[in-house]
Structure 1
Amino acid sequence: MKITFGQIQLDEETQKLSAPRGSVRLAKNDFLVMQALMSRNGRLASVSAIAEEVWQYPRNEPEFSNVAVRRSIKKLRGFLELAVGSQCQIRCERDCGYYLVDRQTVLGDAS
């Protein structure tokens, strides 16, 4: 199954994130973080909610899962910057969480 958000697409079978300028096969945790963000379709996700989705069983969750989530977000932001520029970004609401934004969709909705 594939999840699409704006110009990016996540293939759940191959764990590949694709965009107009390229694609990359994501590491397991990076894939699960991106899947959690994309499945929310632009809605805010707290770091703890993302961690719960990535590590579904508490015994599997690392001691500093919030740091691991933030590390994955940093890697994903780097890929998105290269692959789609500023069209699609992972944004942060300080002390609340993260969400995806697609500028093309936002600009298209305004007209």
Structure 2
Amino acid sequence: MRLLLAEDEKALSKAMATILERNKYSVDVACDGQEALEYLEAGNYDGVILDIMMPKVDGITVLRTIRKKGNLIPVLLLTAKSEVDDKVLGLDAGANDYLTKPFHSRELLARIRAMTRTRTAQADSRLKMGNVTLDRATYELSTPTGSYRLANKEFQMMEMLMSNPKNPISSERFMEKIWGYDSEAEINVVWVYISYLRKKLSVLHANIQIKAQRNAGYTLEEMA
């Protein structure tokens, strides 16, 4: 499950991202409201954790902007304020829930599970192509001959490929969506993970393959 965390307090943001990743969430981090809007415009997320008090664009404005565009993504608002009026303002703007700082990590995780539960239940948890199935709930890649439980980044890459069959995905796009803008990883790490996935597909006797298109990227295609 992919989440966007928009929080300008760096120490808190880093701590929250660590907690979420340890609990099997994939997390992109935005440090201001404008960056959050850019992430939401460019990517598909299952939920947003949105601080109200942020530079450039505040959280309430971000929330109103995406709701005005018809984006119904679940949103959990964070704030240091505890007044009823602030809670009402956020909920009226379209927030699904509200969490006041400081908070316990278990409450944060419980609220995320609660706000994304309906969305998760409604979404098809499995992607299928050829004789291959990718289970989004268990990270399991399988064919009739066997299965592998993918590592987090392997799963994210395979999910992107299976969600966009025959559409090239560039190495830069993989880096942006999975490793993030601020990653220190080299771009050749994409090739390494593509190699991992190819080997797993081969062992599973998959009838789909990852192809490289020069100057375009990688595509997932059924074998002739």
Which TM-score band (shorter chain)?
0.7 to 0.9
Identity score, percent: 31
Structure 2 gap ranges (5+): 1-124
Secondary structure of the corresponding residue to residue 4 of structure 1? strand
> What is the Cα deviation at residue 96 of structure 1?
1.8
Spell out the pairing of 1:33-52 with structure 2 (5 A cutoff).
33-52=157-176
The separation in 1 between residues aligned to 2:141 and 2:184, in whole angstroms, is 24
> Aligned residue for 1:15?
139
The separation in 2 between residues aligned to 1:7 and 1:62, in whole angstroms, is 36
Amino acid at match of 2:139: Q
Aligned length: 100
> Aligned residue for 1:84?
205
**Structure label with greater radius of gyration:** 2
> What is the Cα deviation at residue 63 of structure 1?
2.9
Amino acid at match of 1:71: V
Are 2:224 and 1:100 equivalent residues in the alignment? Answer: no
- Whether contact under 8 Å (2:175, 2:181) holds in the other structure is no
Amino acid at match of 2:218: Y
Q: 1:70 aligns with which of 187, 191, 196?
A: 191
Change (3 A) 1:37 1:62: farther
**Which contiguous aligned blocks of 4+ residues in structure 1 show a shift greater than 6 angstroms?**
none
> What is the Cα deviation at residue 95 of structure 1?
2.6
> Aligned residue for 2:12?
none
Structure having greater relative contact order (Cα 8 Å, sep ≥ 6): 1
Tell me the TM-score normalized by structure 1. Answer: 0.81
Deviation per residue, 1:34-62 (Å, 9 max, x gap): 1111110221111111222213x423x23
Tell me the TM-score normalized by structure 2. Answer: 0.42
Q: CA RMSD in A?
A: 1.5
Secondary structure of the corresponding residue to residue 100 of structure 1? strand
Structure 1 gap ranges (5+): none
Deviation per residue, 1:8-49 (Å, 9 max, x gap): 111111111111211000111111111111110221111111
